[in-house]
Structure 1
Amino acid sequence: MPTYDDDLRLAHVLADAVESTTTRRFKASDLVVETKPDLSPVSDADLAAEELIRGQLKRTRPRDAVSGEEFETTGHGPRRWVIDPIDGTKNFVRGVPVWATLIGLVVDEKPVLGLVAAPALNRRWWAATGSGAWTGRSLSSAKRIGVSKVSRVSDASMSYSSLGGWAKVGRRDQLLDLMDDCWRTRAYGDFWSHMLVAEGAVDIAPEPELAVYDMAALVPIVQEAGGRFTGLDGREGCWSGNALSTNGLLHDDVLARLGTRADADTLPTG
């Protein structure tokens, strides 16, 4: 099995470099916010952060492709870095500290490395295939993390995204039924829901609409922590346009309730 130690060290270097840009612009009185064609917000911090990461990758990994939220994909080949400069831009522009830079590496269409840096929360999470999942401020000061052992929905804690998104995909009633059956529900939102699953603090985290750059960095962390990360169609990874991360024990049950395939109750365990 290939190792990604050098790539993981680079991901930390990239996160260190970009944090000075994002934290300086967080709550800045002159922050410039525009609306993209899809009506989502983008700030000058989003653009500057992605440009910085792309510039460093061009110098250190010139043969790798790079894709992100704000700019077109550059390069081609089996290795592709997938960047979300600020996941949680709506939080960022309103002064809510739940936002992060997501740095993922996809090799042969499989997410193999992920780093989530949330400086306003003073948190960082990372993983690479075969290396476990970790949290801490640096590689030298880290704690290994793992998912919970909760095996019944009635005992589970779930973090969900906005109800409006679930209505758009026609699964709002199913989500509400699942919420009623869970022990506890909260909307921590965005990357944080999935990192809490990886830590074992939350057991279920579904989202109805996501892009690849929202998920690529999250997949290896949840998987290396012992959990599962699929689309609502049961497809492993970050390719379905939506997501479900769980501790693994609850995954098939939740897919049967929220899954978008007609045969959701017979989805493979993977």
Structure 2
Amino acid sequence: MINNDMSVRLAKASHIAAQAAELALAYFNRRDEIQVSSKKVQDFVSQADVAVEQFIRAQLAEHFPQDGIIGEELGGTLTGAACWVIDPIDGTSNFLRGSPLWGVSLGLVEDKKPVIGVVSLPVLNEQFAAESGKGIFRNGQTFTRDSRFGDVQIVSLGDSSDDKLDEAAAFYQGLRAADWSVQCYRCTTIGMVFAAKGITDGHLQRRTTLWDIAGGAVLCQEAGLETVVSFGSENIRDLSVAAGTASLMTTVRTLWDLKPRS
């Protein structure tokens, strides 16, 4: 359901993501039949990823022909102009193993800043949508982050096959030493949605990609979390993200320099 308080652009993006989620869920329910290949160690792509991205691209080209498009599977180039960023199935490993913790992510980036985000979680039957400065919606209804039980300190930590393991281990140890319980969902989208919902205090990922965070970053921002997105030297394939409550971010800053990387 689309809320009349949404902008036309956000409403259309939500509709496209919902349709893509239905397609992705159909593949999930017959995933033993689909073709799978590996891009690199523990980084998989399936027939479903490609089909869902192709569907979203076609819809975006029809409704927003003036905008650029970048997708995880079919590429694209980021400029300062408006550009839609697609992760057709974030959490492909979870998807293939039958976990419900995966999602379809669609974000609009302008001048390297995510300004619209839509994330659909098909198995969980939830969609979250947000636009900078205009709040957040859950399944078409205005949504407020659950901030109860803040003394129960939980953070999700993203990982990457490109992580430097000694640095990753030190960061994890620092969080645990500061009395934070740490979750790892193997899906950046899930980590950011759970932070925006209030299931966790935030999501931290020192190495990620633009398609992993373009949708979720806006959700976290509009849920009231401090959200820091930094581009690295490899542009769309080398970002970091930290989104969290004030308490979490105070701890994070003792362990991690959040200034944009050169």
Q: Normalising by structure 2, report the TM-score.
A: 0.84
Residue type at the aligned position of 2:157: Y
Query: What's 2:98 paired with?
Result: 95
Check if 1:173 corresponds to 2:174: no
Between 207-216 and 112-121, the greater mean CA deviation after superposition: 207-216
Residue type at the aligned position of 2:25: T
Seen in structure 2, the aligned counterparts of structure 1 residues 44 and 251 have a Cα distance that, compared at 3 Å, is same
Query: What's 2:20 paired with?
Result: 18
Q: After TM superposition, give the deviation of residue 108 of structure 1 in Å.
A: 2.4
Q: Is the 8 A contact 1:156 1:203 kept in 2?
A: yes
Which consecutive residues of structure 1, in runs of 5 or more, have no partner in the other structure? none
Residue type at the aligned position of 1:121: L
Q: Is the 8 A contact 1:200 1:247 kept in 2?
A: no
Seen in structure 2, the aligned counterparts of structure 1 residues 227 and 150 have a Cα distance that, compared at 3 Å, is farther
Percent of aligned positions with the same letter in both sequences? 28
Q: After TM superposition, give the deviation of residue 185 of structure 1 in Å.
A: 3.0
Seen in structure 2, the aligned counterparts of structure 1 residues 166 and 201 have a Cα distance that, compared at 3 Å, is same
Q: Is the 8 A contact 2:175 2:251 kept in 1?
A: no
The CA deviation string for residues 16-42 of structure 1, in whole angstroms up to 9 with x for no partner, is 221232111104221110112566210
Separation in structure 1 between the aligned mates of residue 168 and residue 40 of structure 2, nearest angstrom: 26
The CA deviation string for residues 220-247 of structure 1, in whole angstroms up to 9 with x for no partner, is 11011110222589xxxx9962222102
Seen in structure 2, the aligned counterparts of structure 1 residues 180 and 204 have a Cα distance that, compared at 3 Å, is farther
The CA deviation string for residues 190-240 of structure 1, in whole angstroms up to 9 with x for no partner, is 21221121122211321232101101111111011110222589xxxx996
Aligned mate of 1:34, from 19, 34, 37: 37
Query: What's 2:183 paired with?
Result: 186
The CA deviation string for residues 26-61 of structure 1, in whole angstroms up to 9 with x for no partner, is 042211101125662100000000000001111111
Secondary structure of the residue aligned to 2:74 is coil
Q: Is the 8 A contact 1:165 1:208 kept in 2?
A: no
Between 191-200 and 32-41, the greater mean CA deviation after superposition: 32-41
Query: What's 1:128 paired with?
Result: 131
Aligned mate of 2:246, from 212, 225, 248: 248
Aligned residues: 251
Which consecutive residues of structure 2, in runs of 5 or more, have no partner in the other structure? none
Separation in structure 1 between the aligned mates of residue 57 and residue 179 of structure 2, nearest angstrom: 42
The CA deviation string for residues 161-214 of structure 1, in whole angstroms up to 9 with x for no partner, is 359765436231231231243253332342122112112221132123210110
Residue type at the aligned position of 2:175: L
Matches within 5 A, 1:48-67: 48-67=51-70
Q: After TM superposition, give the deviation of residue 143 of structure 1 in Å.
A: 4.1
Aligned mate of 1:108, from 105, 111, 120: 111
Seen in structure 2, the aligned counterparts of structure 1 residues 51 and 79 have a Cα distance that, compared at 3 Å, is same
Seen in structure 2, the aligned counterparts of structure 1 residues 164 and 181 have a Cα distance that, compared at 3 Å, is farther
Q: After TM superposition, give the deviation of residue 76 of structure 1 in Å.
A: 6.1
Separation in structure 1 between the aligned mates of residue 161 and residue 35 of structure 2, nearest angstrom: 27
The CA deviation string for residues 134-177 of structure 1, in whole angstroms up to 9 with x for no partner, is 222xx2xx2412263787xx752122235976543623123123
Between 67-76 and 77-86, the greater mean CA deviation after superposition: 67-76
> Structure 1 or 2: larger strand share?
2
Check if 1:70 corresponds to 2:73: yes
Matches within 5 A, 1:205-244: 205-231=203-229, 241-244=239-242
Q: Is the 8 A contact 2:196 2:202 kept in 1?
A: no
Residue type at the aligned position of 2:242: L
Secondary structure of the residue aligned to 1:97 is coil
Secondary structure of the residue aligned to 2:239 is coil
